[in-house]
Each structure stands twice: as structure tokens, then as C-alpha cells.
A and B are shown apart, each in its own frame.
Chain A
Amino acid sequence: SAVISQKPSRDICQRGTSLTIQCQVDSQVTMMFWYRQQPGQSLTLIATANQGSEATYESGFVIDKFPISRPNLTFSTLTVSNMSPEDSSIYLCSVVSAGGLRKHNEQFFGPGTRLTVL
């Protein structure tokens, strides 16, 4: 299994500011994802963080709003830019170990970062 830590665990931010969330994994993983879980809703995939190249964003999410870095196989950051109250959510990092999803490996989730934008 993979142990995932996220920083910060929670934050309260002012409108118009930006927050960078860190995701650290205790082992090298092939795939890293960022999800958003809005209040009372399901998890929505924001993007796949690719090591050494630009992230792959899902429909409705753009790099200018959610820039992502993945400098190595164990670390990624997600920045929520120019925040508004609508960005208040839990942001979760997720990883898949060797083999990827097509090899049926389990997808592990971090504890999440609870963001409140005032």
C-alpha cells in the first residue's frame, strides 16, 4: 500500500488569494491524481499529474486556475488560484502504484485538504 500525506490539512483563505496544496507519497508511484469533493457531493477528478510534463486536465478544469506540478515520482502540488467561495471544497490527492489502473492496482487516497474561502 501507499501512504499519502497532504499539507495543509485545512485552511481558510481570503477571496482572490492562492493556495498550494502538497501531496507526498512514501513510495514511487506511476500515477497521481487530484480530486475535488465539494460539500455534499461526490469526488470529481481535476487532473492527472504527469511526472516531467504538463498535467492532463478534465473537462471544466484549466491549468490557469489549477496549476499542478509533479517534479518526481513521490511528490505533487496543486495550486488553487484566485480563489472564490465556490472553490471551498476538500481537495484529495490520489495515487496508483506500479501497473496502473489497467493492472487492477488499488487507487490510494490522501486524507484531503479542507479549504474554506471567505
Chain B
Amino acid sequence: AQSVTQLDSQVPVFEEAPVELRCNYSSSVSVYLFWYVQYPNQGLQLLLKYLSGSTLVKGINGFEAEFNKSQTSFHLRKPSVHISDTAEYFCAVIYLGFQKLVFGTGTRLLVSP
């Protein structure tokens, strides 16, 4: 079955520290990969996406993610977080042949001073 796993439901981190949010998907077939962010009481906003090409993808707000096909992973990273990065982050996958986004369970990033 197609699924997306975000192992960490919550990640607390201090301001200016680096952070990595983990995402693994269930299949080794071709996929498109996305990270969305949801700020409190707002809709989802696309951070970045991997469709093809370079496995390191840079997105908005200083975030980047690396596609690792052998490990079926697409971890999100930021070298130095801000208080304003506090939000819920969702990894999502489109399995080629299916026109639907499959979402992970989300990771709440809590940045404290």
C-alpha cells in the first residue's frame, strides 16, 4: 500500500539550531515528493518539491531536502531555525500512475528561544 511515514510527531529545537525532519515512503517506484508547511490556523503552503534531476532540492525559507532513492527517504533540513518556523510540516508523495497526494502524519516543529 502507498504510505508516507513521518516518524517524529514533534521535534523541539532551540532557535538557530539545525533541524532535520524525517520522511520515508513505502515504494521504490517512481515518485514525486513534496514538503508542505501549515502555520497555525492557516492552510498548507508548499515548501519544496522533488520531481526529477538533482537529489538536493532547495525550497523557501531556507529549507532543503534530499531525495534518497535507495532508502526511500526525503528528509527536510534547515541549518538554522527561527521562532517563526514553528509549524506543522507534512511530507507528501505522488506515486506515478496515481494522481493523488498521499500525506504523512505530520511533524510539529517547536522552536524555542
Which residue numbers of A lie inside 8 Å of B, CB to CB?
Answer: 4, 31, 41-45, 92, 100-102, 104, 106-112
Contacts and interface: CB of A to CB of B under 8 A. Distances in A.
Contact of B103 (A43, A101, A102, A104): A43
A23 to B, nearest CB: 11
A101 B43 contact: no
Nearest to B108: A40
Interface of B: 32, 36, 41-46, 49, 51, 90, 94, 99-101, 103-106
Given A42-B106, A45-B100, A104 B32 contact: yes
B49 A106 contact: yes
Nearest to B51: A104
B100 A102 contact: no
Contact of B94 (A4, A101, A110): A101
A43 B99 contact: no
9 contacts: A31-B99, A42-B90, A42-B103, A42-B104, A42-B106, A100-B99, A101-B100, A104-B49, A108-B46
Contacts of A43: 44, 90, 101, 103
A35 to B, nearest CB: 8
B46 A106 contact: yes
B46 A112 contact: no
Contacts of A44: 103
Contacts of A111: 41-43
Given A42-B103, A43-B103, 8 more contacts: A41-B106, A42-B90, A43-B90, A44-B103, A109-B44, A109-B45, A111-B43, A112-B42
Contacts of B46: 106-108
A110 to B, nearest CB: 5
A107 B33 CA distance: 12
In the A-B complex, the 7 residue pairs with the closest CB atoms: A109-B44, A109-B43, A111-B43, A42-B105, A43-B103, A42-B103, A101-B99
